[in-house]
């Protein structure tokens, strides 16, 4: 080993919040990066042997991808399994890209089936076909992979405690103790009949407050809330928030208990859905990844850009069709950016509020008449206020900059701005609800589609008003 690569046996690592890049850790990141660059993977593995998996995850994130992949593939299967469980899907897929089948078998055999499924889903289909038959939990993993990724069955865990109704409190407590090492957080013990149908549940306080000889059937709670395995994960989140649940059981069509969804998984779903909506709001594909290759960038973004180009072309064509009006009064061209910007902003504001309400379950399609009336009134007031301000500016500035007929131009601009704001807000408020009713992600209503659609309407309304009033 070169002298420049000699580092202390113990590396200093300060644990911060996930994603933090603390200055105190930069020397360690650089030192490990140099060792990996020179092929000293054995040295790095020894240096990290006492590190917590969470700290290794943070280290991997801060290393260049090539060196992070080299470090991850050098870890023993046990530690590597703990590390991979803490990675997001995209980064995990990138780290596993160069792994051999033998390495993947050892790695996934060290994971719980639920965690293994998440990682296997990111692998190419030909790799999955070669890998799956050799896994220890092949049957369980294959069954879990039949569920859609964004369904309740796709995010549930099979780590839970289930008991029959004729057991005593003492037997249940012993069963909980037996599974204590496998289940980190236990909010309920589920009660099932002989056919494994869910009939009730027990909270931990029920086990503490009742005598050890009491039967489960006498003290179990029957006011449970369960979700079907095919239910969309967004609906699961809404149900748990509405009922203030820390976790929720998952059942099949016949009411048989399949698993449970933990609070950690529910929080992850909320983060993922927010990220997906943010991508759609920005006019990019939900599948976009920070580390995607150039072809991926083109594939995921070009269609959205072309959709925007189509809208801009239509807007330009409308402007071009009024070229005689613009030639007669060139001042009209200066108002085009104003009405387009106002339409885009008003539409996105209304659509964002609608999408947020749909995500939290506070609005629905039956809410459309009341919501539409409220948006119409609010948009009318906002549009009139903006229109009056713009008209006042035109009236005041008109004599100084030589505008002909400033009063008529002020009336044209004010009415057009009020009308554009009203129409854009109405469309922004209603389109997400209609899309959601037909099973389409309402976030599709925003970004490029709302913006370009409102641009077209704004230009059309403005020139119609200008032709009728000013010219």
| pLDDT tens, position by position, 444-467 | 656 666 777 778 888 888 888 888
Sign of CA pseudo-dihedral 318, 321, 323, 325:
negative
Indicate whether 373 belongs to any domain: yes
E runs forming strands in 296-384: none
Token pair in block for residue 24: 């105190």
Indicate whether 283 belongs to any domain: no
Task: Tell me which residue range forms the domain holding 80.
Answer: 3-151
Q: Looking at the structure, do residues 187 and 317 belong to the same domain, yes or no?
A: no
Q: Looking at the structure, do residues 126 and 190 belong to the same domain, yes or no?
A: no
Q: Looking at the structure, do residues 141 and 178 belong to the same domain, yes or no?
A: no
Q: Looking at the structure, do residues 380 and 330 belong to the same domain, yes or no?
A: yes
pLDDT band at 356 (very low <50, low <70, confident <90, very high): confident
Q: Looking at the structure, do residues 82 and 55 belong to the same domain, yes or no?
A: yes
Q: What is the CATH number of the domain that holds 56?
A: 1.25.60.10
Indicate whether 197 belongs to any domain: yes
Q: Looking at the structure, do residues 326 and 460 belong to the same domain, yes or no?
A: yes
pLDDT digits (tens, 9 = 90+) for 410-444: 898 889 888 888 888 888 888 887 777 777 777 66
Average pLDDT of span 141-164: 90
Q: Taking 70 as the threshold, does the pLDDT of residue 102 lie above it?
A: yes
The rounded distance, in Å, linking the Cα atoms of 18 and 25 is 13
SS3 label, residue 187: coil
Kindly list the strands in the beta sheet with 189-192, ordered across the sheet, starting from the edge strand earlier in the chain. Answer: 162-163, 189-192, 198-202
Q: Say if residues 199 and 163 touch (Cβ distance below 8 Å).
A: no
Residue after which a domain boundary falls, among 84, 118, 151:
151
Indicate whether 22 belongs to any domain: yes
Q: How many residues does the chain have?
A: 471
Average pLDDT of span 140-164: 90
pLDDT digits (tens, 9 = 90+) for 7-54: 444 567 877 776 667 778 888 888 888 888 888 888 888 888 888 888
Task: Output the average pLDDT for the chain.
Answer: 82
pLDDT of residue 265: 87
pLDDT digits (tens, 9 = 90+) for 227-260: 999 999 988 988 998 888 889 999 999 999 999 9
pLDDT of residue 65: 84
Residue after which a domain boundary falls, among 213, 242, 263:
263
Q: Looking at the structure, do residues 142 and 176 belong to the same domain, yes or no?
A: no
pLDDT of residue 226: 95
Q: Looking at the structure, do residues 81 and 147 belong to the same domain, yes or no?
A: yes
pLDDT digits (tens, 9 = 90+) for 268-312: 888 777 777 666 666 566 666 655 667 767 776 777 778 778 877
Sign of CA pseudo-dihedral 141, 143, 144, 150:
positive
Q: Looking at the structure, do residues 145 and 182 belong to the same domain, yes or no?
A: no
Q: Looking at the structure, do residues 200 and 117 belong to the same domain, yes or no?
A: no
Indicate whether 284 belongs to any domain: no
pLDDT of residue 383: 86
Q: What is the CATH number of the domain that holds 318?
A: 1.10.357.20
Indicate whether 277 belongs to any domain: no
Q: Looking at the structure, do residues 140 and 181 belong to the same domain, yes or no?
A: no
Residue after which a domain boundary falls, among 243, 263, 283:
263
Indicate whether 285 belongs to any domain: no
Q: Say if residues 131 and 207 touch (Cβ distance below 8 Å).
A: no
Measured at the CA of 286, the angle between CA 121 and CA 237, to 5 degrees, comes to 75
pLDDT band at 122 (very low <50, low <70, confident <90, very high): confident
pLDDT of residue 5: 42
Share of the chain above pLDDT 90, in %: 18
Distances (CA, A) of 353 to 284, 375, 414, 441: 20, 11, 26, 15
pLDDT of residue 194: 93
Average pLDDT of span 86-96: 78
Q: Looking at the structure, do residues 226 and 115 belong to the same domain, yes or no?
A: no
Q: Taking 50 as the threshold, does the pLDDT of residue 405 lie above it?
A: yes
pLDDT band at 203 (very low <50, low <70, confident <90, very high): very high
Q: What is the CATH number of the domain that holds 186?
A: 3.10.580.10
SS3 label, residue 249: strand
Helix (H) or strand (E) run with residue 251 in it: strand 248-251
Distances (CA, A) of 124 to 54, 85, 92, 98, 290: 27, 19, 13, 12, 19
pLDDT digits (tens, 9 = 90+) for 61-72: 888 888 888 888
Indicate whether 280 belongs to any domain: no
Average pLDDT of span 195-213: 93
pLDDT band at 165 (very low <50, low <70, confident <90, very high): very high
pLDDT of residue 364: 62
The CB-based long-range contact list for 143-146 (8 Å cut-off, 24+ gap) reads 144/113, 144/114, 144/117, 145/117, 145/120, 145/121
The CB-based long-range contact list for 98-104 (8 Å cut-off, 24+ gap) reads 98/69, 98/73, 99/73, 101/127, 101/130, 101/131, 101/134, 103/73, 104/131
Token pair in block for residue 301: 């973004």
How many domains, the chain? 3
């Amino acid at each position: 080993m070169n002298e420049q690569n000699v580092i202390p046996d113990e590396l200093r690592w300060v644990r911060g919040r996930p994603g933090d890049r603390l200055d105190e850790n930069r020397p360690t990141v650089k030192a490990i990066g140099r060792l990996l660059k020179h092929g000293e993977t054995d040295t790095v593995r020894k240096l990290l042997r006492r590190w917590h998996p969470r700290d290794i995850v943070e280290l991997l994130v801060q290393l260049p991808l090539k060196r992070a992949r080299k470090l991850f593939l050098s870890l023993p299967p046990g530690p590597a399994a703990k590390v991979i469980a803490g990675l997001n899907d995209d980064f995990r897929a990138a780290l596993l890209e160069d792994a051999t089948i033998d390495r993947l078998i050892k790695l996934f055999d060290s994971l719980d089936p639920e965690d293994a499924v998440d990682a296997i889903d990111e692998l190419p289909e030909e790799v999955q076909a070669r890998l799956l038959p050799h896994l220890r939990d092949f049957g369980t993993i294959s069954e879990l992979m039949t569920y859609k990724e964004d369904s309740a069955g796709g995010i549930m865990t099979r780590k839970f405690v289930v008991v029959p109704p004729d057991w005593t409190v003492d037997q249940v407590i012993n069963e909980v103790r037996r599974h204590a090492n496998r289940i980190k957080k236990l909010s309920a013990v589920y009660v099932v009949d002989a056919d494994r149908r869910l009939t009730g549940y027990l909270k931990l306080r029920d086990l503490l407050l009742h005598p050890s000889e009491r039967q489960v059937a006498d003290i179990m709670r029957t006011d449970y809330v369960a979700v079907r395995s095919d239910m969309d994960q967004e609906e699961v989140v809404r149900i748990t928030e509405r009922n203030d649940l820390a976790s929720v059981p998952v059942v099949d069509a016949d009411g048989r208990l399949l698993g449970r969804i933990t609070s950690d998984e529910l929080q992850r779903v909320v983060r993922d859905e927010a990220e997906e909506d943010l991508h759609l709001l920005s006019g990019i594909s939900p599948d976009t990844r920070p580390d995607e290759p150039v072809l991926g960038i083109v594939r995921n973004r070009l269609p959205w850009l072309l959709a925007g180009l189509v809208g801009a072309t239509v807007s330009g064509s409308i402007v071009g069709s009024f070229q005689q009006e613009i030639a007669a009064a060139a001042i009209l061209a200066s108002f085009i950016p104003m009405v387009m910007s106002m339409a885009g902003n008003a539409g996105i504001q209304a659509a964002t509020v609608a999408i947020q309400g749909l995500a939290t379950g506070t609005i629905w399609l039956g809410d459309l008449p009341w919501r539409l009336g409220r948006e119409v009134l609010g948009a009318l007031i906002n549009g009139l206020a903006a229109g009056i301000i713009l008209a006042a500016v035109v009236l005041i500035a008109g004599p100084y900059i030589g505008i002909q007929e400033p009063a008529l131009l002020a009336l044209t601009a004010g009415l057009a701005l009020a009308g554009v704001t009203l129409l854009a807000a109405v469309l922004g408020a209603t389109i997400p609800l209609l899309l959601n009713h037909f099973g389409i992600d309402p976030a599709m209503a925003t970004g490029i589609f709302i913006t370009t659609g409102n641009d077209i309407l704004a230009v059309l309304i403005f020139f119609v008003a200008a032709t009728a009033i000013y010219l």
